[in-house]
A = this chain, B = another copy of it.
Amino acid sequence: MKLLRLYDRFEADIDRIERDLAHKVALAHPTLRDAALHLLRAGGKRVRPVFVLLCGQFGQYDVQRLVDAAVPLEMIHMATLVHDDVIDCAHTRRGQQTVGARWGAQTAMYVGDFLFGKAIAQLVELDVPAIHRIVSRVMVQMVIGELEQMRWLGVIDQTVRDYLLRIRRKTALLIASSCQIGALVAGASEQCAQQLYMYGYHIGMAFQIQDDLLDFTGTETQLGKRPGSDLRQGNVTLPVLYAAKDARVREVIARCLLPGADDSVKNDAIVLVQRSDGLGEAARLAQRYCARALRVLDRLPNIAARDDLRTTAEVLAHRAY
């Protein structure tokens, strides 16, 4: 797999990020340390750090400074995951017990707060005020994204635009900012950083659409949870909105979203979405976002890093888990 080869090349730098993440949380209070290390060990694709490293190649590649920028961005991502799990009362994530399930919702909330604070504290050390500005704004937008997700929970009467605005805030802005920050830390030009931001934004949108798609197409083993979990929890994603264009499918989805709907209605709704063209249509939109990301690359300097970003876009667009 191409992305794996890409990861291989950055292996030493990614290891450094892992070690730094573990080191940063190891110094904390015992409960925070245990819970945060548990989170770290649960893994993750480290998408945001990898984009920082990739985009850092557009300037002076200083691995220590890039790691110092990548680690807090991953911490912010982790913080939002812990807080989401508290809200969803999730018991597992990626097949592992959540912090909330193991240490209680209270600890999970404070672990999230701790990661936010720690992330900001580390970003400050970079001494690039533009970066604090970018990150604090994204944090606010991410919270609004989460609230929008709560607001639209269980509601089928929403538009594709509502969905896109939500994933923009929840996912795309942090990935876009990771790309931009990688470039800024490496001292690339403002214009280059801005292009990389746009690249990251489109990739981020594609990435989240893919994620929402995989929730319907993945197996329980691949996902670490039952397929259709989003819909089961009332989270109306893009494939669902597209599938609901068919009035009969919409009717079943609406029943599945009613409070107290039983499992058989939920299963019916999931199967209907899986058999609909909603999956295909969502996949095509993800492809369009990827294509836009690739077009942005054409405006960037023709260096090896540009090919890496192209590969990453193509691999993410075709990932199966």
Contacts and interface: CB of A to CB of B under 8 A. Distances in A.
Interface of A: 28-29, 31-32, 83, 86-87, 106-107, 109-110, 112-114, 116-118, 120-121, 123-125, 127, 129, 132-133, 135-137, 139-140, 142-144, 146-148, 150-151
A164 to B, nearest CB: 17
A144 B109 contact: no
Contacts of A121: 133, 136-137, 139-140
Given A136-B124, A137-B121, A139-B117, A28 B129 contact: no
Given A133-B121, A136-B117, A32 B127 contact: no
Contacts of A151: 31
B32 A114 contact: no
Contact of A83 (B109, B135, B136, B144): B109
Interface centre among A116, A120, A150 (most CB of B within 10 A): A120
Nearest to A144: B29
Report how many copies the assembly holds: 2
20 contacts: A28-B140, A28-B144, A29-B147, A29-B148, A32-B144, A83-B110, A86-B109, A110-B146, A113-B139, A113-B143, A114-B144, A114-B147, A116-B117, A117-B142, A118-B140, A120-B135, A120-B136, A123-B136, A127-B129, A132-B132
A148 B31 CA distance: 9
Contact of A147 (B107, B117, B120): B107
Nearest 5 pairs between A and B by C-beta? A117-B139, A121-B136, A120-B136, A117-B140, A124-B132
A17 B114 CA distance: 27
Given A109-B83, A148-B29, A150-B107, A140 B114 contact: yes
Given A113-B146, A121-B139, 11 more contacts: A28-B144, A29-B147, A31-B150, A31-B151, A86-B109, A109-B109, A110-B150, A116-B117, A116-B139, A121-B140, A124-B133
Nearest to A131: B124
Contacts of A144: 28-29, 32, 114
A127 B127 CA distance: 11
A8 to B, nearest CB: 35
A144 B135 CA distance: 23
A85 to B, nearest CB: 11
Contact of A110 (B127, B132, B147): B147
Nearest to A80: B113
A112 B79 CA distance: 13
Nearest to A132: B124
Nearest to A134: B124
Given A120-B139, A137-B121, A147 B31 contact: yes
B106 A87 contact: yes
A165 B86 CA distance: 28
Given A121-B136, A124-B133, A129-B129, A147 B109 contact: no
Contacts of A140: 28, 114, 117-118, 121
B109 A87 contact: yes
